[in-house]
Amino acid sequence: MSFFALDDDERVIAETAAAFAAKRLAPHALEWDHTKQFPVDVLRAAAELGMAAIYCAEEVGGSGLRRIDAVRIFEELAAADPALAAFISIHNMCAWMIDTYGTAEQRAMWIPRLASMEAIASYCLTEPGAGSDASALRTRAVRDGDEYVLDGVKQFISGAGTSDVYVIMARTGAEGPRGISAFVVEKGTPGLSFGPNEEKMGWNVQPTAQVILEGVRVPASALLGGPEGEGSGFGIAMNGLNGGRLNIAACSLGGAQAAYDKTVAYLADRVAFGGPLLDEPTIRFTLADMATALETSRLMLWRAAIALDGGEPDKVKLCAMAKRYVTDACYEVADQALQLHGGYGYLREYGLEKIVRDLRVHRILEGTNEIMRVVIGRAVASGARNRTEAARVRATA
């Protein structure tokens, strides 16, 4: 079987996502963006097809699929609406964290509800003073008998105020990453409130706001992973982001592919200088670069997804590489697609400017692309040191 050839099951998964996106997302994406409507009913329709707990275990209600399946799903969804696809990605990341690190009771309580999107989830790591330096977060969780009391503010939280459950990283111990734990907090808990919806460049379909915790009391059972989970929250959050980075990159790829397809069709019909613009050599050169960037992005995504599925030693580096390259390259493809449409690309009705606006934030969230370079560089340096040490040991053996 070729690495690139989908088997029958893989093809059905991708085609199901594409058909759903074409029917339920594409006809409404521009309206949702304009009115800032968050279509919860459409999210739950996606959940009925298994898209809300994609790589959670089947035994607790998940779909039991792989990361390689997920990136194909998100590419297809994002071809219709990158912003809504990205929200489904965030929800899936939260579901995976609970399924992977939660106790049996937590998994049984939450995964079936998350898989159906009866409960919608938000990921709460970033703070006003802790973005890229996430381990410097200030939100605290203090043990008080059989409860924890949470105080702090989370920033830029997708779904804030609408979601039903919040996976919140808070400090239970000393400074640094080992003092952070993860909690599952339900909407409606006294002391939990939300800031006003942020006015954003893109991603208008999903609400984004602060999550404010003022003396929020949760039972000790809300600590993700139970008593043994205390102090492991930062690792949980980072491991969740490995998949989140692939999914958000897949959303960039889907949006850019849609922009590219619109552009090729437009240029085939557009006549200038005595013939179709598609026949102009300079136009073809530009399209060639765009097509190459899309195929390279897809290859990097699939490679990283397979590494994550297989638990390969370099999975973190490969996920960071894919996120960095794909979100940068696909944003440039979308921007070039708008440029090739001329003035029409700047009009809302053509859909190009929405794709550009939605894809811009993908280079910032799930770890900025500058931080991805830090992650990659650290892995490269570590590998070099390990090889040097191994060579030294061999030489002295």
- How far is the C-alpha of 373 from the C-alpha of 370, rounded, in Å? 5
Closest CA to 38 of 203, 175, 261, 281: 203
For 226, half-sphere exposure in the C-beta direction (CA atoms, 13 angstrom radius) is 9
Q: List the catalytic residue out of 76, 366, 370, 389.
A: 366
Question: How far from chain centre, in Å, is Cα 184?
Answer: 19
Q: Is 366 a catalytic residue?
A: yes
247 Cβ contact partners less than 8 Å away, ≥ 6 residues apart? 70, 71, 74, 86, 89, 92, 93
Strand partners, 170: 181
Closest CA to 267 of 256, 254, 280: 280
Strand partners, 150: 141, 216
Helix axes 233-269, 82-101, angle to 10 degrees: 160
187 Cβ contact partners less than 8 Å away, ≥ 6 residues apart? 163, 164, 165, 166
Structure tokens at 25: 């997302």
Dihedral sign computed on CA atoms, order 226, 114, 81, 203: negative
- How far is the C-alpha of 32 from the C-alpha of 205, rounded, in Å? 5
- How many residues comprise the chain? 397
- Please say whether the beta carbons of 216 and 38 come within 8 A: no
- Please say whether the beta carbons of 143 and 101 come within 8 A: no
Structure tokens at 175: 């400074």
Closest CA to 317 of 306, 304, 326, 329: 304
- How far is the C-alpha of 294 from the C-alpha of 285, rounded, in Å? 14
Residues belonging to the active site: 366
